[in-house]
Structure 1
């Protein structure tokens, strides 16, 4: 019975080791075809995660199954640090995403977003020129406005659309600017004289620019990020419980050794 915890830790780490192989392979594949800033930005975290999982799972597997206490102690130490980091990130994610929501626009199916509605920490991240250059490159490479460009819609059809936060903020000018609809990503006229929104001057009908330099685009990115972080934070709670259980089993295995 005393070896049950060791065997369980060994099985869990063997499965984690198998999981690390496709993650590491995916990171290497990304690095071999990375042509854009966005792809180069993704490859390093994926490779680092794959290597981390592989090394930690091997330490736990050998430590539990072969009775190597020093490796099992290292495994438990890393697991403890990971539990603390996941807990801190979860609390932080809920803290920085508790502000900000889209504003309903009269007779529109979509919402519009303002950068000032979000937490100061998030605002600083997207207002950093270096950070925003990378994000904008990802948006342009991802062709987030392509579906709107290809849709041959009337004005009424477009106004009824339920646009995503990024499409609403980056692919069209704010409603208060008063531009006239030509197509989803083409707007005619000049801004209203009473419009104080700086995005009105940032808007461009050039399809590579659109509103990618607008404050509304940054707000749309943060709205999307907020939704994703809340989902990740919820998943992290489940993951945290799993980590605590595995850590407790690992402590039993270390005591057996």
Structure 2
């Protein structure tokens, strides 16, 4: 019985360690400029990680100090958390699976259109009230200013593989026909294109293309890219948690079997 309890305590300690990558994903998302402006995924992920840690700690205490009700709580609560994490993994995949960028002629980077990104994530950023708050936050970041420090010539910029957010928000769409001065300053053509984004572009560094549909599309694409990276970590952690939970259930059942056997022997003799 003591050996089984020690094994269960060790398994729960591993479960406690597995909460670290979950929390780390949430913290990493919170440090990304676009995610910090939208604030959709990071806090739910951090919350799940913290609860996994607390539940695993309860299981560890229950096994180490032999508190049966804590062990039972651990088994039930961890099952719920595994199902919740699995749902979160599937949800992230579902909302990021659609949409892709388009290569612009003569450019190494891609450009993005909002109509290519249907679904939940687009709805979370598209509304006027939401977008006014988001674009104000985006304009306060260094995402566009970094381009001016990095790329000093037109060809250098056109050959760069800039991210979706910078492509959509920091420059006018290529089809507008603007002439490059620096990555965030462009000369307007004599006859402007009919695309509304071409008219929304401004060389004002606080305006740029933050009101453009291309900026919304770039944000959605950038969020999707980062969420997918986080989802890979969550999938690996989920699989590890399932294995650890299965081992815990087996050890708990074995401990109960040994306890019943000991009681039977004591009663027999």
Range class of TM-score, shorter chain: 0.7 to 0.9
**1:239 pairs with one of 237, 240, 245:** 237
Q: Which residue of 1 aligns with 2:261?
A: none
> In the aligned structure 2, how far is the partner of 1:84 from the partner of 1:155?
51
- Structure 2's unaligned 5+ residue stretches are 257-269
Q: Which residue of 2 aligns with 1:6?
A: 8
Please, which moves more after superposition, 231-240 or 45-54? 45-54
Q: Which residue of 2 aligns with 1:184?
A: 183
TM-score, L = length of structure 2: 0.76
User: Counterpart of 1:206 in 2: which secondary structure?
Assistant: coil
Q: Which residue of 2 aligns with 1:156?
A: 155
TM-score, L = length of structure 1: 0.80
| 1:111–1:38 Cα change, 3 Å | closer
Q: Which residue of 1 aligns with 2:171?
A: 172
Do the aligned partners of 1:69 and 1:254 also contact (CA within 8 Å) in 2? no
Deviations 1:102-122 (A, max 9, x none): 111111111100011013222
> In the aligned structure 1, how far is the partner of 2:241 from the partner of 2:226?
22
The answer to whether 1:119 aligns with 2:121 is no
What does 1:223-238 correspond to in 2, within 5 Å?
223-238=221-236
Q: Which residue of 1 aligns with 2:103?
A: 104
Deviations 1:73-123 (A, max 9, x none): 222222111211222222222222222111111111111000110132221
Do the aligned partners of 1:153 and 1:183 also contact (CA within 8 Å) in 2? yes
Do the aligned partners of 2:154 and 2:182 also contact (CA within 8 Å) in 1? yes
Q: Which residue of 2 aligns with 1:65?
A: 64
Deviations 1:221-245 (A, max 9, x none): 1112222222233333221211111
| 1:14–1:190 Cα change, 3 Å | closer
Shift of the alpha carbon at 1:137? Answer: 4.5
User: Counterpart of 1:187 in 2: which secondary structure?
Assistant: strand
> In the aligned structure 2, how far is the partner of 1:83 from the partner of 1:191?
59
Please, which moves more after superposition, 107-116 or 230-239? 230-239
RMSD of the alignment, in Å?
A: 3.2
User: Counterpart of 2:4 in 1: which secondary structure?
Assistant: coil
Shift of the alpha carbon at 1:184? Answer: 1.0
- Structure 1's unaligned 5+ residue stretches are 31-36
Do the aligned partners of 2:48 and 2:81 also contact (CA within 8 Å) in 1? no
Shift of the alpha carbon at 1:167? Answer: 0.9
| 1:223–1:157 Cα change, 3 Å | same
**1:198 pairs with one of 192, 196, 199:** 196
Aligned length: 243
Please, which moves more after superposition, 228-237 or 215-224? 228-237
